[in-house]
Amino acid sequence: VYVPVQAPAQPTPKELKEKTVAATAKKLKCTSFCLMALGAIGVVSALFHGFGAREGAEKIYLHETHGAKVGDTVSREEFALYDSIKALSFFGFIFSALMFGIGKCGMKLAWRQKTQMARRLTCKSRIATVVLVIVGLVLTHYAHEMHKTVSHIKKEHKTNAPTTTYAEPVSMNDAYPFYKDDEDMCNSEYSDQETCDANDACSWCECAAVPSACHSLDTASALPAPTFICDKAAKIQKEKEEAERALAAARKIYKDDEEMCNDQYSDEDSCDANNACSWCACSAVPSACHSLDTASALPAPTFICDK
């Protein structure tokens, strides 16, 4: 027996329209929610960077100059960075707020689905989109200005940064002939750090440009830091400061006799030829001629006076 199969009923135009509207509304909700989320994040970020513009500008400046900032003064470039961050934060806030507003309009349109309201919200969204594009162009301009400022800071710091030039490795005796005797004792006898530092008159000095070696304390104090890193540098500096203080105090008390000896005699023989003067050797400060009163007031063994 043949039973005829009834064809499925075709959806009416109204049903097709409602189905299309529902699918479009679902997509619109998703897009609007994303715009609102991005807008909210942008608003919070703009407020955060706007209120922290001073610290942000200083952080960028210190990063690009590798910490080369003197005192609390604000340079012109750092102020330009601050100004750019404030402007970017302000227009970023407007941009994000507009994005949030467009998303909110889309969400209302998806929920209510009324023709008259749809027209109004669509008009508002178009105006907001035009403003959004204009604000985006302003943001691009300030971002470009900030990039130029950062590039200028890099270039200026690279130009003004001190450059270290390394000479060819030479003998320390040739480079520092003033302390040749002590240098011969330290540099020639000790080839490792342990034996070098065991002698109180010697210091082990590390260097990347020339081989690390053992040097006398006088030579170690004359070597430029940070090219040379000598392990007794702190001790040398402390002894130098103490010697300078003691010498200044003694000279202040015995000023007249000190001027006669120190100003007139620059070598040991001529100094000792005068009975009122004594030659005082010192490793912390240059050896010199002093009056007997000054020589007796100088602390031993930092100063070794022959009278």
pLDDT for res 230: 81
Global pTM? 0.44
- What is the Cα–Cα distance from 40 to 38, expressed in whole angstroms? 6
Same domain membership, residue 106 and residue 42: yes
Q: Give the mean model confidence (pLDDT) for residues 259-264.
A: 76
Unique residue bearing structure tokens 């080369």: 68
Output 262-271 pairs: Cβ under 8 A, ≥24 positions apart.
262/288, 262/289, 262/290, 262/291, 264/289, 265/289, 268/306
Establish if 53 belongs to a structural domain.
yes
Task: Write out the residue range of the structural domain in which residue 223 sits.
Answer: 172-231
Same domain membership, residue 121 and residue 47: yes
Q: Are 302 and 239 in contact (CB under 8 A)?
A: yes
- What is the Cα–Cα distance from 197 to 230, expressed in whole angstroms? 10
Establish if 165 belongs to a structural domain.
no
Same domain membership, residue 254 and residue 199: no
Provide, rounded to the nearest whole percent, the portion of the chain with pLDDT above 70: 75
The 10 Å Cβ neighbour count of residue 268 is: 16
Tens of pLDDT, residue by residue over 94-140, are 999 988 988 888 888 777 766 666 677 777 778 888 888 999 899 89
Question: 11: exposed, middle or buried (C-beta count within 10 Å: 0-12, 13-18, 19+)?
Answer: exposed
Q: Give the mean model confidence (pLDDT) for residues 9-21.
A: 71
pLDDT band at 68 (very low <50, low <70, confident <90, very high): low
Same domain membership, residue 208 and residue 99: no
pLDDT for res 168: 41
Tens of pLDDT, residue by residue over 150-187, are 888 787 776 655 544 444 444 444 444 444 555 567 87
- What is the Cα–Cα distance from 307 to 291, expressed in whole angstroms? 10
Q: For residue 306, what are its two tokens?
A: 């022959």
Same domain membership, residue 47 and residue 19: yes
Q: For residue 108, what are its two tokens?
A: 């209302």
- What is the Cα–Cα distance from 161 to 156, expressed in whole angstroms? 8
Same domain membership, residue 254 and residue 222: no
Tens of pLDDT, residue by residue over 180-219, are 555 567 878 888 888 888 887 788 888 777 788 888 877 7
Establish if 78 belongs to a structural domain.
yes
Same domain membership, residue 245 and residue 127: no
Establish if 105 belongs to a structural domain.
yes
Q: How many domains does the chain have?
A: 3
pLDDT for res 161: 52
